[in-house]
Every structure is written in structure tokens, then in C-alpha cells.
């Protein structure tokens, strides 16, 4: 998939799932469970031990999914992630060198920012989407407010997004949202409660559909 098709798929699903699995087997099973609930865009963070080997295995065994690498702080890690199969890269803060390497490889980059100044800096540096983090600090109202002067900038709230407020963030103008523990409960992941994870994914997908209908 090229850069445009990756962004189009995420824009369509509108939810990126954040997984912090303890093993590649857990990651694969969790990904399949999310897919059963309608979500196939997944971010594996670098704070997960063995993230790169897990990413390689996941992209090899589940080629129809969109796996991205998150919490990327430097260009070297971004390049390693891209060569390991990441379809998109996510940073927690404005990292121009990471944006640069992603542009070079034609890979979408979601760059973390919070203030209006940081949001504009990230976009001017070449970020495809600006990740608004932590989103729970000011809620959906903040997205609506910063979208007013920056309607040309796609934004993805992350942190504090759950099944109750996902619709509010999307109606406020978010390109998509990212959800971690509210979507993938740590206990469910550890115990292999794949039916429970699928059920929660369906709740998110239903909320997204409702928000899209207005």
C-alpha cells in the first residue's frame, strides 16, 4: 500500500488500536480479535519489549492489516520500523528528523503535538497527521477549537479516548482517534480474552458509525 491508501484506510476506520503485547503470539491473536470487531489499524509502541521482532512477525503473518510503529523518537528507529514492515510511524512529540525519514520512504507519519504552536510546527515539518496528545487534558472541545484556525491540518486525538467520547472527538473534526487501554484491556490481553476484545472493538466501531451519520 502506498502512503495515500494507508491514510485512506485509517480515515475510513477512524480508530487506531494501541497494543502493548508481551509476545508476538499475543499481538497476532489480539489483532485478529480486533479485526473481528471491525478494526484493522494497529499501532505497536516502542515501549513494548521486542517491538521490532513482533512487528516483523505481525506484518509477515497478517499482511492485510495496517501495522504501525509508535513512540518513535529518532530517525534510526523510524527507518528500522519501516524496513520491518511498519505502514505508518507515530511520534509522541514534534520530531522533525523522524518526519524527514518517513517522507523519504513515502510512509505516513503521525507526529505528536499539543499546543497550537506545536501543531503548526509538526504540520509545517511535513507530518501527514498531527497526533494531539494527551487528548484527555482538554477533551473534544479543544480539537474543535484548534481545528478552527487550522482546518487544513488532520488531527488524531490520543490519550483518554474511549467508547463514550470517541464520537465527540470525531464530530469535533478529528481525522481519526487512537485508543489503548480503553479498547484493549490489559487483563483481557494477558488472559487471552479475545471475545471480550472483539466485543469492545465492535462498540468502538458502532460509535464511529453513529458519529459518521451525524
What number of CA atoms fall less than 13 Å from residue 171's CA on the CB side?
14
Q: What is the mean pLDDT of the chain?
A: 96
Percent of the chain with pLDDT over 70: 100
pLDDT at 92: 96
pLDDT at 22: 83
Mean pLDDT of 49-69: 95
* pLDDT confidence bin for 152, thresholds 50/70/90: very high
Mean pLDDT of 1-19: 96
pLDDT at 214: 67
* pLDDT confidence bin for 188, thresholds 50/70/90: very high
* Domain extent at residue 138: 3-213
How many domains does one find in the chain? 1
CATH, residue 209: 3.20.20.70
* pLDDT confidence bin for 24, thresholds 50/70/90: confident
pLDDT at 23: 85
* pLDDT confidence bin for 43, thresholds 50/70/90: very high
Sign of CA dihedral 170, 172, 178, 179: negative
The C-alpha cell at 175 is 481525522
pLDDT at 25: 87
* 158-184 pLDDT tens trace: 999 999 999 999 999 999 999 999 999
The C-alpha cell at 142 is 479543544
Percent of the chain with pLDDT over 90: 93
Mean pLDDT of 45-64: 94
Residue 21 above 90 pLDDT?
no
User: 178-210: buried (b, 16+ CB within 10 Å) or exposed (e) per residue?
Assistant: bbbebbbeeebbeeebbebbbebbbebbebbee
Query: What does pTM read for this prediction?
Result: 0.96
Amino acid at each position: 500500500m502506498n502512503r495515500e491508501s494507508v491514510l485512506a484506510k485509517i480515515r475510513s476506520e477512524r480508530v487506531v488500536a494501541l497494543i502493548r503485547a508481551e509476545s508476538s503470539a499475543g499481538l497476532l491473536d489480539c489483532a485478529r480479535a480486533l479485526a473481528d470487531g471491525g478494526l484493522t489499524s494497529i499501532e505497536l509502541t516502542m515501549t513494548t519489549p521486542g517491538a521490532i521482532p513482533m512487528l516483523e512477525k505481525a506484518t509477515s503473518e497478517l499482511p492485510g492489516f495496517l501495522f504501525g510503529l509508535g513512540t518513535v523518537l529518532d530517525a534510526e528507529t523510524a527507518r528500522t520500523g519501516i524496513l520491518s514492515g511498519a505502514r505508518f510511524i507515530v511520534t509522541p512529540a514534534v520530531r522533525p528528523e523522524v518526519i524527514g525519514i518517513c517522507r523519504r520512504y513515502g510512509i505516513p507519519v503521525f507526529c505528536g503535538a499539543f499546543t497550537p504552536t506545536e501543531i503548526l510546527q509538526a504540520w509545517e515539518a511535513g507530518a501527514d497527521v498531527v497526533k494531539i496528545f494527551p487528548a484527555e487534558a482538554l477533551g473534544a472541545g479543544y480539537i474543535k477549537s484548534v481545528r478552527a484556525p487550522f482546518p487544513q491540518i488532520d488531527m488524531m486525538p490520543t490519550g483518554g479516548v474511549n467508547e463514550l467520547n470517541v464520537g465527540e472527538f470525531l464530530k469535533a473534526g478529528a481525522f481519526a482517534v487512537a485508543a489503548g487501554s480503553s479498547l484493549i484491556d490489559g487483563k483481557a490481553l494477558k488472559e487471552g480474552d479475545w471475545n471480550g476484545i472483539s466485543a469492545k472493538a465492535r462498540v468502538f466501531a458502532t460509535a464511529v458509525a453513529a458519529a459518521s451519520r451525524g
